[in-house]
Structure 1
Amino acid sequence: MTRTVYVNGEYLPEDQAKVSIFDRGFLMADGVYEVTSVLDGKLVDFDGHAVRLARSLAELDMPSPVTTEELLEIHRQLVSRNNIEEGLVYLQITRGAPADRDFAFPDPEETPRTIVLFTQNKPGLANSPAAAKGASVISIPDMRWARRDIKTVQLLYPSMGKMMAKAAGADDAWLVEDGAVTEGTSNNAYIVKDGVIITRQLSNDILHGITRAAVLRFANEAQMQIEERAFTVEEAKAADEAFTTSASAFVMPVVSIDGQTLGDGAPGPVALRLREIYLDEMRKVAI
């Protein structure tokens, strides 16, 4: 069945969807994106993603082409039209396609933004075999630009990081700057030592993860101890357990770092409990 996508106000078969070759998202990565999970045919933490989208657009001085209410309806329409029970909705907004390529921003009154959404069907997203097994990561230098708090479409280096991990026989990579882990290629990173959850504090250095915020809230409600601070790779290797959070993988246990096994090599109890809590709680409030 042909997937239905959304492009600039139209619902179209995916093979009929087109954007201009002059679009600044294509030419200059001048755009932002969000990914919202779908569980049981409902959107997980849509409001959080909408708030972060607005922040990213504002940081780039890019007016939104739609209201939050319109965006919610588009998400729901795509979930319905594509019969998504478990999966993802990808959203991208770029500064649009001016008359010709230019480094200077085009006049927003003369150049409408480009907005694209599509779904990805992911059966078994919640009951992931990978989460039961745990992931392996390698550490690599963080060579991205300094505004990682803006969720832009500049994803070349994270993609290269995932390929470095694949070449090393690992599942993913953690990015390291000045000796400390910033985050994963597409997720926030955590370690657990003596029952304490440790994760880097919010700043321009990392993405302000929507799943991160929810998981830390649930951990606090469960009276788990949390420290928001930087941690080193060596500290991570000596941890009792580790995990990542993201909209597409929820809470993912990490069982080895740079080939060194954590604990007994199995997903740790804190990560597994947080994954269970997160899925239970988010299902209750999905819309």
Structure 2
Amino acid sequence: MAIYNHILTENDFVEQNTLKYPFEERGLQFGDGIYEVIRVYKGNYYLIDEHVERLYRSAAAVKIAVPYRKEDLYQRLDELLKKNDVDGDASVYLQITRGSAPRDHAFPYQTNANLYAYVKDLSRPLEFLREGVTAITQEDVRWDWCYIKSLNLLPNVLAKQAAKESGSYEAILHKNGEVTECSSSNVYFVRDGKVYTHPAKKNILHGCVRMRVEAFCKEENIEFIEEAFRIEDLPNAEELFLSSSTSEVMPLLKVDGQKIGDGRPGPITRKLQQCYEKDANILAEDSFLKEQAATE
């Protein structure tokens, strides 16, 4: 996977190999920062408005001053793609920290935020989208303000590692048996042709793709219900699926070794995948759905 050469900082574009991370950076020492991962298809941002709006919401929630006005940030992110000659599928990682200052838990006085952004190749996970994935369940031990996309991701990292070690794609998180979301994606439960997912409260990330899934459901007359479900409900689901900027709309076929439905991606998941591809302007030659329909 290629990482492109030019990185955006709050001051300028710099060569990747010349970047010197500031000493006593609060993002390193406290996780005192926020981030976004923005999907790029064929050199074009997908859901950039949603990501930028969430970035500013997260910044306001933790009292970090973003070093750009929104219109300037859009311009700089466009320049980042142009400087790296991006014309394929990629992702942009954007991080803002409170800045660099002598280490102290309290906010530093008159310190400017640090901003970093870089782009890397990211192909679509076509095999997983076509065939589906598996998950395990894990207790949700994160803090209560998961709606802030902060750098404090160690519980997510440990949950994702547990999934990897079990041979699974994701870890479904729950608090006292109530499913919240996954280590790096939102999760959905289909019953009686209706899509259920945890309400957009402070204890989950309000995913940008999650917002589009809700819109897709409305467009397709699929009832979308913000209502939490429980881990004991999972084996009785007609379908389960995940969503995120890197996973798109991902079929989930087994949880803790138990088969979901008939063990194949279901019709609602397939419909929402189709909606996603249309919304993201994914070209027909880059879609697996036509080929998939012929084999199902």
Bin of the TM-score, shorter chain as denominator length: over 0.9
Output the CA distance in 2 between the equivalents of 1:185 and 1:3.
Answer: 29
The amino acid of 1:51's aligned partner reads E
User: Match of 2:281, SS?
Assistant: helix
1:23 deviates by 0.9
Corresponding residue for 1:129?
Answer: 127
Q: Are residues 1:18 and 2:28 paired?
A: no
* 8 A Cα contact 1:251 1:275, kept in partner: yes
**Corresponding position of 2:154:** 156
TM-score by length of 2: 0.91
- Tell me which amino acid in the other structure corresponds to 1:121: D
Letter in 1 for 2:112: P
Equivalent residue letter for 1:52: R
Question: What SS does the corresponding residue of 1:140 show, helix, strand or coil?
Answer: strand
1:283 deviation in Å? Answer: 2.3
Question: Which of 8, 13, 27 is residue 6 of structure 1 equivalent to?
Answer: 8
* 1:173 alignment counterpart: 171
Q: Is the 8 A contact 1:88 1:120 kept in 2?
A: yes
Residue 178 of structure 1 deviates from its aligned partner by 1.6
Residue identity in the other structure for 1:82: N
Offset, 1:28: 0.1
Following superposition, the deviation at residue 273 of structure 1 comes to 1.2
Corresponding residue SS for 2:262: coil
CA contact (8 A) 1:7 1:17 kept: no
Matches within 5 A, 1:196-211: 196-211=194-209
- 1:90-169 matches, within 5 Å, as 90-98=93-101, 100-107=102-109, 110-123=110-123, 125=124, 128-169=126-167
- For the residue of structure 1 that corresponds to 2:63, the secondary structure is coil
Deviations 1:203-248 (A, max 9, x none): 1110011110111111111100111111011112210110111111
CA distance in 1, matches of 2:165, 2:97: 32
Q: Deviations over 1:154-190 (max 9, x none)?
A: 1111111111011112111011102111001011110
Structure 1 Cα separation of the partners of residues 76 and 247 of structure 2: 23
Q: Deviations over 1:34-81 (max 9, x none)?
A: 111001211111111111111101111111111111211222122222
State the shift of 1:18 in Å: 2.1
Identity %: 33
Hey, what's the Cα distance between the residues in 2 that align with 1:278 and 1:95? Answer: 35
Q: Mean alpha-carbon deviation: is it higher for 2-11 or for 61-70? A: 2-11
How does the TM-score come out when normalised to structure 1?
Answer: 0.94
Distance 2:277 2:34 in 1: 26
Partner of 1:76: 78
- List 4+ stretches of structure 1 deviating above 3 A: none
| Distance in 1 of aligned mates of 2:157 and 2:151 | 11
1:269 partnered with 2:249: no
Match of 2:29 in 1: 27
User: In structure 1, what residue type is equivalent to 2:171?
Assistant: A
1:248 and 2:250 equivalent?
no
RMSD: 1.4
Bigger shift: residues 239-248 or 8-17: 8-17
CA distance in 1, matches of 2:192, 2:85: 44
Q: Structure 1 unaligned runs (5+)?
A: none
- Equivalent residue, structure 2, for 1:221: 219
One-letter amino acid of the structure 2 residue matched with residue 260 of structure 1:
Q
